[in-house]
Amino acid sequence: MEILVSEYPLRIVNIIELLIIFICVYGCFSLWPNQRFRGLCMVLGLEVLLMMFNFSEETGLFNQSYLITPVFSLCTGPVFYLFVRHLTYANHQWQWRQAGHFILAIIAIPLTAYTQWVLAAGSLSLLLYAIFSYRLLTRYNKAAQTLTSNDNMTRLSWLKGFMIVFGLLMLQDIIRLNSQPFLNFYVSNTWYLFHQGAVMITFAVLIHLAIHQRELFDSLDTYDDMESTRSASVDKQLNQDLFKQIDDLIKDERLFRQPRLSLSDISAATGLGIKEVSAAINEGGSMNFSEYINRMRVNYFIHHVKPDAAVLHLALEAGFNSKSSFNTLFKKYIKQTPSQTPQCVYFICQFSEGLQYIVNTYFFPTEGYSVVCVDAYLLVSVTADPVGVA
């Protein structure tokens, strides 16, 4: 074990640092063509600089006499926040005034002799910017659910996951740095080795997920405008009446079968403003736009599926834009995946006073069947041959 942390000029941890540099440079070249991911290139570039300075300080490659790496703790938070801001806002432009986020880092350059104080300020900065970034991501996801029906394709849940993992890595690194006076050489350097290995894996996963992000939501500005002009006093009855009209139109025209259906499409079809349509669905339907449309698609699928039907073809016909999207939403509303219920027969059951059922061809006895409610429909999972009706 000592060979991993021995006092050689070039240790395993330094090789990991070189690998991190390579991975981040690769990520920059891969993501730079996508303008909204250029903020992530800034994050990766900062990590490259940090690893280069770490490598230099640890190996004495450049005979560096001044400690600079503590300053990076004051840069990480602002860079990550700017990345999230430019990722979530499609038309957000880079401006020189954003350099103001780095004033503390510049001030700290001649003060790195007070390493613990600089690191403490960096930790506080990282925490504050992490809160701002998390709130922005939450707003982005909420806006996508409000304005589009395929928010599962634009969701940035993986980025929230990265923030949590990266935050935990920073927390344990702070503990490591403050524990160094009490640790021997091998414990301290083994800890540092595994920390750098975890950083390498985390950034590799981040780059992979960013490259494979299929779509991004483009209308966060529209959502902000809607929220800023939303009236405090909402006519509930009016919204319910509007919702009924919108609901009838969507069902009659089967607009939900359009894979990329958005709130602006409904606005154009009804002649109502986006804000009015959104308020009507939220108030009258008691759900956001994405859930409303995707529930309708699931209901369409349930209505039309047959025991021998091509499930994927019918899912695409219902308006789902991919197999993964269909499986995710089907499981969300039915509580199991289509593959878990290959022998299923679906029939419509209209709920009204007295719980009246509309059943077409078969009567189904209670024994041997599991029943799941999906809005106004019923799912019956067949475990025995149904009883036919002459």
Along the 390 residues of the chain, how does pLDDT read in single tens digits? 444 444 546 788 889 999 999 999 999 999 999 989 999 999 999 999 999 988 887 777 666 667 788 888 899 999 999 999 999 998 778 888 888 999 999 998 888 888 888 888 888 998 899 999 999 999 998 888 888 887 777 788 889 889 899 888 888 887 887 777 787 878 888 888 899 999 999 999 999 999 988 788 888 888 887 776 665 445 677 878 888 888 888 888 888 888 888 888 888 888 888 888 888 888 888 888 888 888 888 888 877 776 666 778 888 888 888 888 888 888 877 777 666 554 444 443 333 333 333 333 333 333 333 344 444 444 443 333 333 333
Tell me the pTM: 0.74
The greatest distance separating any two alpha carbons of the chain, rounded to the nearest whole angstrom, comes to 93
What is the rounded distance in angstroms from the CA atom of residue 281 to the CA atom of residue 26? 44
First and final C-alpha spacing in the chain: 78
For position 367, what pLDDT does the model report? 37
Neighbours of 285 (CB within 10 A): 18
